[in-house]
Amino acid sequence: MVKSKIAIFFDRDGTLIKNFVSKKNKPISIKKIKDIKLLKDVKYVVNNLSEKYRIIVITNQPDVSRGKDTKKNVRLINNNLKEKIKIDNFFSSYSSVETNYLRKPNPGMIMLAKNKFNLSLKKCFVVGDTEKDIIAGNRAGCKTVLIKTKYNNNIKIEPDYKLQRLNELLNILNLKP
């Protein structure tokens, strides 16, 4: 079967897997494989979507450039996640510099995926839990989906869709069984 020219781009931490939240109510990426905990409905939703769409994870991992994590560790976590759910590809930005083209809110990771898989971005979706995810999706010309969390109530930019739970994405894409 030829894979679709349409992708669902997922943020990793806080969208697919549970992240930590700082005292300042900011999301923090996990650092250990043992901390990987799929969020509710993730396996069901992603595995259903993977039958029709490419599943691509785009993740900022700036702690690598800050010396608090390693590329090897990020790849180990990504590979472990790929064993749990059907993911076609990962794109990671290790930069902590906001102007870096690969780092969300910039669309660099999405554009790399577009070129690699010949994607039709106007038909693609970016699903995330932060304003940076939504801005990156908008800049790439994708539809955007915000998964509501306790730390993203003050987002100023309006996504195409706001969901309380990830399984609502199946309704948007008319894939609800």
The pLDDT tens digits for 40-61 are 999 999 999 999 999 999 999 9
Q: Quick check: helix, strand or coil at residue 13?
A: strand
91 contact partners, CB below 8 Å, separation of at least 6: 56, 57, 58, 59, 102, 109, 110, 112, 113
- Chain centroid to Cα 141, Å, comes to 16
| Residue at token pair 């932060």 | 130
Residue 26 predicted with pLDDT over 60: yes
Helix axes 108-117 and 131-140, enclosed angle (nearest 10):
50
pLDDT computed for residue 24 by the predictor? 78
What pLDDT sits at residue 127? 98
Predicted pLDDT of residue 30? 85
> Predicted confidence band at 1 (pLDDT cuts at 50, 70, 90)?
very low
Q: Burial code of 6-39, b = ≥16 C-beta within 10 A, e = fewer?
A: bbbbbbbbbbbbebeeeeeeebebbbeeeebeeb
Q: Sort 51 into a burial class: Cβ within 10 Å, 0-12 / 13-18 / 19+.
A: exposed
Say what percent of the chain tops pLDDT 70: 97
Q: What is the pLDDT of residue 176?
A: 62
Mean pLDDT of the chain: 93
How many Å apart are CA 168 and CA 165, to the nearest integer?
6
Alpha carbon dihedral 167, 168, 170, 173, in 10-degree steps, equals -150
Q: Which residues of 144-155 are buried (b: 16+ CB within 10 A; e: fewer)?
A: bbbbebebbeeb
